Amino acid sequence: MDKIDPEMMDMSKNINMPEYIDSVKGFPDGMSSRERRRNVLKLLANIKLFITTAQAKFVFISGRELYDAYLADLSDRDFAISSIFTGVINVDSFLTPEGGQTDVRSMSEWYIANRLLPDEELRNKEKKNASDNWTLKKEMPSLKWYYEYLITECKNDARDAAYIIGFLHIFAAYLTHISNGSPKKIFLYFDKFVKRNIDCVSSTDWKDVCEVGSPKTNTKKKRRHKDTSQVLWFDQTQQKTINFVYYLANPIMGTITNDLSNYGDRFLVTLSFVIDHIYKHHNRSFSWRNLEQIPDLLKTSKAPELREAMTSILEHMAQTHVSPILIGLNEYKFRKSISDEISVMSKLSEEASAIFNFTLDESLAVILHNTRLLNYYIQLEQKEMSPSDKNRRFQPIIARIHSNLGDLHYWDEDYYKASLEYRAAIDAFNEDDKQGCLTRIRCMLKLGLTYESRKLYPNAYQLYCQLISLLIKRRWVDERSLGLDI
């Protein structure tokens, strides 16, 4: 379904409000979500006669766009999708719990138990539940099954088995968060820790590794099988990374995400990305103005409950990791202790660095979206303004878009581009504009911080002097002109 004929694309040159395109980091195709859905519907319309008349059954596999089009058919008179397909199946991610559970980590635990337990043990356990417990509904494998397997079959000590199950529970939460519910990601990150038993050698004399799945060795044949068998093996750095991700993500998953697990699979996947995006602001203060640039909020098909959920997440973080700023340029700031921990883990682990930092072009799609918005309003201004017209009504909007671009480059630590955007935003404001005075002052403060980050202290000092002069000029206000006279 992704092989769309380029000639079918709408190449109209009309000046329309640009949409957010989230295909920069993946497989770029130059189309927004709405355009992809429209092209898929065009393709289906062209082959509708062949599908309905051929003596065969057709199965189409597509992304979220086609499923959103099917949901739109519920209130559409044409019902294009329903007129072609006889059934639509939406495959949820691993964040959607099954079997009547509400824990978003249950599917990850089910996957771990299926990989660790032998096939014979799984079949015997299902037969035992059906015969002894009279269980008609199929019970999903869990870490409880693996604990019983360690005690009864592997003859492990109860304390050692409890330690292994405890760490696997942490590992399940780690897989749930880092995979964002994608089964393919869970498979890749799980296999990353699978090694041959003969290759698992500790780097120190003391036991600093965690090994799961190693069989007991009583005979020479079993010892040979142990050397060639595969086990889950975690070294010291990997254990630190897994426990740290669990420490940051598990409280939110346990208190907020599980309560919202009935809101839909797309909403759960979005929340996972939102949590990572908030933690990316750990080294600097931030505000809701920055959080509004999250890609999930810019998409056309965003969840309506997302902003309310983000408020709940920030309120929860305010109890542990985030401190509100009463008077300042921004509204929130991470506490120094958790900020230092994230910085240290980012140096030790590449995964932690990618999750909790703006280092891998995460904001490139948002930057391109704001650039298209900037060009859109510049074209509108050039189209409507005459050469002698001095009333530039789109100029405040252009200035604020420059300010947003400056923030995005600032978080990417591209301070040169950030300083250019802040300067463009400052110059775009009219000095006599009283409504844009606050935004202009904010841009001047951010530009000063950017100069300080570039070690350009004379430039920052000169800018702050200009800001002081502006404030002195603005502090004398004619109260009668504002209707404040008594």
DSSP result, 26-67: SS--S--HHHHHHHHHHHHHHTHHHHHHSSS-------HHHH
Helix (H) or strand (E) holding 234: strand 230-234
**Dihedral, 235, 237, 243, 246 alpha carbons, nearest 10:** -110
Is 237 found in the same domain as 119? yes
From 311, 337, 355, give the residue that closes a domain: 355
Is 207 found in the same domain as 142? yes
Does a structural domain hold residue 418?
yes
Is 168 found in the same domain as 68? no
Rounded Cα distance between 307 and 430, Å, is: 33
For residue 326, give Cα distances in angstroms to 206, 308, 331, 407: 48, 22, 7, 21
User: Residue 455 has what pLDDT?
Assistant: 92
For residue 76, give Cα distances in angstroms to 32, 72, 81, 300: 22, 6, 10, 18
User: Residue 444 has what pLDDT?
Assistant: 92
Does a structural domain hold residue 81?
no
C-beta neighbour count of 271 within 10 angstroms: 28
User: Residue 218 has what pLDDT?
Assistant: 43
Encoded amino acid at 26, one letter: G
From 355, 373, 403, give the residue that closes a domain: 355
132-137: Cβ within 8 A, 24+ apart? none
Is 33 found in the same domain as 152? no
285, 328 Cβ separation under 8 angstroms: yes
Is 336 found in the same domain as 218? no
User: Residue 234 has what pLDDT?
Assistant: 86
Is 209 found in the same domain as 136? yes
Does a structural domain hold residue 96?
no
Is 160 found in the same domain as 137? yes
Does a structural domain hold residue 88?
no
User: Residue 155 has what pLDDT?
Assistant: 81
Does a structural domain hold residue 92?
no
Structure tokens at 161: 């088995």
State the residue range of the domain holding 462. 364-474
Which parts of 296-381 are beta strand (E)? 322-324, 332-334
C-beta neighbour count of 249 within 10 angstroms: 21
Is 128 found in the same domain as 10? no
Does a structural domain hold residue 456?
yes
Rounded Cα distance between 283 and 340, Å, is: 8
User: Residue 253 has what pLDDT?
Assistant: 81
From 198, 227, 243, give the residue that closes a domain: 243
- pLDDT by 10s per residue, the chain, length 486: 444 444 444 444 455 667 667 654 555 455 666 677 777 777 777 888 888 888 888 888 877 767 777 777 776 666 667 777 777 888 878 887 776 677 788 888 888 988 888 888 877 777 776 666 665 556 778 888 888 888 888 888 888 888 889 999 999 999 988 888 888 888 998 988 888 776 666 655 555 566 676 554 444 444 444 545 778 888 888 888 999 999 998 888 877 766 666 666 777 788 888 888 899 889 888 998 888 888 878 776 677 778 888 888 888 888 889 999 988 888 999 999 999 999 999 888 888 888 888 865 677 888 888 898 899 888 888 887 665 555 567 888 888 999 999 999 998 888 999 999 999 999 888 776 667 788 888 899 999 999 999 999 999 999 999 999 888 877 776 777 767 665
Is 316 found in the same domain as 204? no
Rounded Cα distance between 400 and 421, Å, is: 10
Coil vs helix vs strand at 212: strand
**Considering its fold, how many domains does the chain have in total?**
4
Does a structural domain hold residue 428?
yes
Dihedral sign of CA atoms 409, 414, 419, 424 in order: negative
User: Residue 91 has what pLDDT?
Assistant: 80
Rounded Cα distance between 432 and 425, Å, is: 15
Does a structural domain hold residue 442?
yes
| Helix, strand, coil content of the chain in percent (nearest 5) | 55, 5, 40
Is 235 found in the same domain as 290? no
Rounded Cα distance between 230 and 383, Å, is: 67
Is 136 found in the same domain as 248? no
For residue 278, give Cα distances in angstroms to 177, 401, 424: 14, 21, 27
User: Residue 269 has what pLDDT?
Assistant: 80
Candidates 32, 17, 74; CA nearest to 300 is: 32
CATH number at 451 reads 1.25.40.10
Is 328 found in the same domain as 405? no
Residue 230's φ and ψ, nearest 5 degrees, are: -105, 140
99-104: Cβ within 8 A, 24+ apart? 99/139, 99/140, 102/258, 102/261, 102/262, 103/258, 103/261, 104/176, 104/253, 104/257, 104/258, 104/261, 104/268
387-394: Cβ within 8 A, 24+ apart? none
